[in-house]
Amino acid sequence: MSDVTARSAAPLDEVMLAMDVVDTLRHQQGLATRELDTDAKEAQLIDRLRDIYHQQGIEVPDHILREGVVALQESRFTYDPPAPSFGVTLARLYVGRQQWGKPVLLIAAALVALFVGYFGVWQPYQAEQAQQARIELAEGLPAQMDNLYDTIFEETKVQQAVLDAEAIRTRGQTFAAEGNRPAAEDAVADLTALRDLIRQEYTLRVVNRADEQSGFWTFPEINTDATNYYLVVEALDADGQTLSLPILNEETGATETVSIWGVRVPEAVYDAVVADKREDGIIQNNEIGRKSYGFIEVNYNVPVSGGAVTRW
């Protein structure tokens, strides 16, 4: 080993030994405090340190022990944390980035995704939906009403259907102009129902089955001295299929969709049907009316009183 290498290595060893002496003194804090605070000579503390190292089998030169004592007094080799400051906080955050970096990045990515989703996707979608709704209310629904009115006008064969359609259209378009979407949609539904009504075709027949009533009579609650007579009827389309129709119950004032209901007729018509069924159990003239295409009312073959019931 060269002299240059030996000279450069020695100071480092001495520094390390001095640091160890200081560390020993820190662990023997009572020793250092007792010896120094009682004005004992530095030599006495060095002697005690020498004994400690000797017991450990380590021979430490006196100048190293002395250097260690001086270093302890001067707080050398002691780390004093920096005072709190913004820069210190940033430095600590940077040093601990391995711990908080990934969670923060994930949270930041989630916030960015939420921001982009809300402002870049959801809000434009909502705005587009609102714009479409405004266009539908201002243009679409009135156009539907006009088309339905035109269809009814062309297909109906009675003036009353045109008058009803015109009244519904006017009311619906007024609601649309006022921004009342539910009421405007109700008007479209009413026009659609009226269009479907004038397109219906069916035959109204008295129910003629052994297990079902063909007619009945009741005493009205408002006038128990009177008697109401009803024929039980059903509507059959061109294929013989039974239809379900909305029928206004004159006793309750409620409209129900039913496939069988009672039509109020004069007593003479009721008696004629009863006599017809008594002959052979079959009602020969069981067709009492017909609903034709283009009309809104049934054309009855027998006199009727204009009322109906859905339950009896």
Inside any domain, residue 94: no
- Identify the helix (H) or strand (E) that includes residue 166: helix 159-178
Closest by Cα among 307, 168, 161 to 247: 307
Is 209 found in the same domain as 195?
no
pLDDT at residue 104, as a whole number: 80
Is 234 found in the same domain as 297?
yes
CB 218 within 8 A of CB 208: no
Closest by Cα among 241, 265, 247, 237 to 311: 247
Rounded to the nearest integer, the mean pLDDT of the chain is 82
Q: d(Cα 47, Cα 49) in Å, to the nearest integer? A: 5
Closest by Cα among 255, 253, 288, 294 to 270: 288
Range in 2-16, 47-61, 155-169 the model is least confident about: 2-16
Task: Between 2 and 91, name the one with better pLDDT.
Answer: 91
Inside any domain, residue 232: yes
CB 187 within 8 A of CB 152: no
pLDDT digits (tens, 9 = 90+) for 159-186: 999 999 999 999 999 999 999 999 999 9
Range in 82-96, 147-161, 251-265, 271-285 the model is least confident about: 82-96
Phi, psi of 46, deg, nearest 5: -65, -40
Inside any domain, residue 287: yes
Closest by Cα among 109, 83, 104 to 91: 83
Inside any domain, residue 79: no
Q: d(Cα 241, Cα 202) in Å, to the nearest integer? A: 9
Mean pLDDT of 251-272: 95
Quote the number of domains for the chain: 3
Inside any domain, residue 105: no
Is 34 found in the same domain as 7?
yes
pLDDT at residue 75, as a whole number: 56
**Non-local CB neighbours of 293 within 8 Å, separated by 6+ positions:** 155, 198, 199, 200, 201
Is 274 found in the same domain as 216?
yes
* Residue 219 lies in domain: 202-309
Residue 89 pLDDT exceeds 90: no
Is 206 found in the same domain as 304?
yes
Residue 103 pLDDT exceeds 70: yes
Mean pLDDT of 296-307: 94
Is 116 found in the same domain as 45?
no
Task: Between 165 and 82, name the one with better pLDDT.
Answer: 165
Inside any domain, residue 90: no
Residue 4 pLDDT exceeds 60: no
2 pLDDT band, cuts 50/70/90, is: very low
pLDDT at residue 218, as a whole number: 92
Is 251 found in the same domain as 173?
no
Is 249 found in the same domain as 190?
no
Inside any domain, residue 248: yes
pLDDT digits (tens, 9 = 90+) for 205-238: 999 988 889 999 998 877 777 899 999 999 999 9
Is 213 found in the same domain as 181?
no
**Non-local CB neighbours of 188 within 8 Å, separated by 6+ positions:** 141, 144, 145, 148, 172
* Assigned token pair, 65: 């022990």
Q: In Å, what is the CA distance from 293 to each residue of 27, 242, 290, 304?
A: 112, 17, 10, 21
Q: Where are the beta strands (DSSP E) in the chain?
A: 202-206, 215-218, 228-236, 242-243, 245-248, 255-258, 260-265, 287-291, 299-300, 308-309
Is 213 found in the same domain as 305?
yes
